[in-house]
Amino acid sequence: MARGFADVDWFNLYDWLIGVLAPMFEEYAENHYGYPGEINGFTDEQWTQYLKDIARHLRNASEDQTVELNQFEEEHDEYIEERFGSTCRWTDNHGATHSVLPELTERGKEISDKYYARMREIDEWRLKEAQTALKMIGDCFFDMWD
């Protein structure tokens, strides 16, 4: 691993970055010996909190975060299961299996619209969390030493 990353890390760079940086900043917050100094606007306690905040914002940017949830997920999942459960399947003369989904109902459209609107809100929030963390890192980029 002469490059410092594996090819698999390319497939989902943001998850890799969150998975590496969030615990690194948490560890740094708990075990740092130095800090940028009060001349740069930080007491030791403020620096510790700053590092913890970076880690928190990074974790909030993850798809696995549990802060912002989609309250329509269960209803959406139930509808999808119901809809796919009534899929019509048939095999043609060549042995290929085909599926025909039932038409999307008005109820299904309403459920999907609510679910996907909320997903967009959550994705926008996650992006803002990532941008906040990256800005905080950038603002003190050359102070990330110990």
For the cut 80, the answer to whether the pLDDT of residue 75 exceeds it is yes
pLDDT score, position 123 = 97
pLDDT score, position 83 = 82
CA within 13 Å, CB half, 137: 18
pLDDT score, position 122 = 98
Residue 91 and residue 97 in contact, taking contact as beta carbons nearer than 8 Å: yes
pLDDT score, position 92 = 83
Residue range(s) defining the domain that contains residue 108: 7-143
66: its two tokens: 């549990």
* 95 part of a folded domain: yes
* 127 part of a folded domain: yes
pLDDT score, position 3 = 79
* 1 part of a folded domain: no
C-alpha pair distances (Å), 143 with each of 41, 62, 104, 138: 12, 25, 55, 10
SS3 of 91, please? strand
Residue appearing with tokens 């299996």: 97
What is the average pLDDT across 74-81? 92
Residue appearing with tokens 């999907």: 112
* 2 part of a folded domain: no
Q: Is the pTM higher than 0.75?
A: yes
One DSSP character per residue, 25-62 reads HHHHHHH------GGGT--HHHHHHHHHHHHHHHHHTS
The confidence band for 141, taking pLDDT boundaries of 50, 70 and 90, is: very high
On average, the pLDDT of the chain sits at 91
For the cut 70, the answer to whether the pLDDT of residue 1 exceeds it is no
pLDDT score, position 88 = 73
Q: Number of folded domains in the chain? A: 1
The pLDDT tens digits of the residues spanning 89-139 come to: 778 888 888 877 788 889 999 999 999 999 999 999 999 999 999 999 999
